[in-house]
Amino acid sequence: MYVTDSIFLAASGASGFDLSQALDCNVWLFTTGNDHYLFDSGAGLDVDGLFSRMRAAGLDPMGLKMLFLTHGHADHSGGGAEIARHVPDIQIVAGQKTADILATGDERLISLDRARGRVYPLDYVWQAPRVDRVLQDGEVLDAGPFRVKLIATPGHSDDHCAFLVEGQGLQALVAGDAVFANGRVVLQDIEDCSVSKTLASIRRLATLEFEIFLAGHDRFSLRNGRRHVEAALVYADAGLPPPQL
């Protein structure tokens, strides 16, 4: 589903727009028409469907150049290995902590062991994708005409990162699960989720300039996207967690 001439929503599950398999996060794709840059990969249960939606929109999956991962949770990283099998030249990019987690292949480090049987089916199989390029906090990577800046935003998980994407007239925040529409968050009873780090990350995101807000679940905004972070900032400045998604 195109949302602008350059931004395509390639997958979105039950906590979004029901375009794809229910467990998928919002999978955002920035494109020049020929070259494509993916942000997160969904849970990996229907990568063929993701490719089919691309083809239906005139986007060749073999034009995928990079996959940026916001964090290691299975609904965001689970499709990465399968995508790379189909598109072996794709470069998978992540922050250092995400890369370290994925290198182990240990599902306990993404709390999947606790989520299986509650969120994920008991027979769900997660395969950790390879990471080809590690970005440090604040580092900028050129992705075709787009400049992608990694912003460390721990809280939802300790490895969480957002991405600021600029180019082709766009100024977008790919927020992942750091903050959602209307300033909501997801705080979970897992070892590396932190209220204090969530609030610090919200304060940091509020210092950024962007127009488009692309969250990892739920809805997005093409104009005045900062209002969603500003809504969360009201709670953060009071030392309180924002409402749950």
What is the domain extent for residue 111? 7-237
CA distance 236 to 6: 33
Q: What is the CATH number of the domain that holds 152?
A: 3.60.15.10
Give the pLDDT of residue 237. 95
Write the DSSP symbol of residue 29.
Answer: E
| Residue 245 forms part of a structural domain | no
- Buried-exposed string 217-226: b where 16+ CB fall within 10 A, e elsewhere: bbebbeeebb
Q: What pLDDT was estimated at residue 214?
A: 98
- The number of domains in the chain is 1
Q: Is residue 244 part of a domain?
A: no
In a domain, 2, yes or no: no
Q: What pLDDT, on a 0 to 100 scale, did the predictor assign at position 66?
A: 98
Q: What is the mean pLDDT of each run of 10 residues along the chain (245 residues)?
A: 97 97 98 97 97 98 98 98 97 98 97 93 96 98 98 98 97 98 96 96 98 98 98 96 96
What integer pLDDT is reported at residue 198 of this predicted model? 98
Per-residue CA distances from 21 to 60, 69, 79, 200, 229 (Å):
21, 19, 11, 32, 28
Tokens linked to 182 = 């209307």
In this prediction, residue 45 carries a pLDDT of 97
| φ and ψ at residue 145, rounded to 5 degrees | -80, -5
Q: Which residues are CB-neighbours of 130 under 8 A, at least 6 positions away?
A: 80, 81, 84, 92, 102
